Structure 1
Amino acid sequence: MTKRIHVAVGVIINDNNEILLAKRPEHLHQGGKWEFPGGKVEAGETVTQALARELEEEVALEVKATKPFMELSFDYPDKQVLLDIHTVTAFAGDARGLEGQQIAWVPRNELTNYDFPEANKAILEKLLRH
């Protein structure tokens, strides 16, 4: 049995009510699909600390405030993840893909036009209900 990977995920909403998405590099698990930015929670980190670190490293945003959105576990055939999803309610900086990844600010009602990993489907459903 493989270890469940704890991932901090950010639903980042700008002043235009658009949500930031990042495209996973092709060589990674679920490569080529769009996702909400974030990354692994390291030992000794809180979810909020991990999210702030990951968003600064990946998309050049400084997180000012977050609030819990939802938590879900998902099992892929080759990997298990625990997604700790937070809404980023305040941030500074201009988003850009620091790891060469494509990013996009997407209106909420257009999220369904993007191809997401299976684990993200529940996040999309909840976002579209709000």
Structure 2
Amino acid sequence: MGIEVVCAFILQKDKVWMGRRPPHKHMGGRLEFPGGKVDAGETQVEALKRELLEELRVEATVLSEAARITFQYPEKIIHLTAYFVEISGDIQCVEHTEGVWIELDGSPQSDWAPADVELWNQFRATRIR
């Protein structure tokens, strides 16, 4: 079955924002695209707006879907959908220990959460076509 999760590609020129997960959480210390679980009764867009407000204290305008994957962790399956998002306000790391801007043409690094690596590779593969 799996868990429905959404995340944001927040772009700034030729970079995308990622946050470092807190050490006590699943995949602690890894970089991820911000977002979270879709709650019962929520649409993906509603969930993403809520998560970005909670995690980053920003208002979000969800533009379009960027990529979609299903990823199998040893303990769970997630269905992860990324959206291009425009934000208003300055990003505040409420849920993340830090935020970093990653080059759009860069490759995933070893400190990325595995699902985000696969999502990024999917995005880059469809972007090249």
Alignment of 1:41-120 (within 5 A): 41-88=38-85, 90-99=86-95, 101-113=97-109, 115-120=111-116
Structure 2 residue runs of 5 or longer lacking an equivalent are none
Partners of 1:66 and 1:87 lie apart in 2 by 5
Paired residues of 1:108 and 1:127 also in contact (CA < 8 A): no
Partners of 2:108 and 2:45 lie apart in 1 by 27
Paired residues of 2:20 and 2:31 also in contact (CA < 8 A): yes
TM-score (norm 1): 0.86
Aligned residues: 126
Task: Give the C-alpha shift of residue 126 in structure 1.
Answer: 3.6
Task: Give the C-alpha shift of residue 124 in structure 1.
Answer: 1.9
> Deviations along 1:67-94, whole A, 9 cap, x unmatched?
1112211111111111021111x22111
Pairwise CA RMSD: 1.8
TM-score (norm 2): 0.86
Partner of 1:8: 6
Partner of 1:37: 34
Quick one: percent identity of the two aligned structures? 32
Residues 91/82 of structure 1: CA separation in 2 closer, same or farther (3 Å cut): same
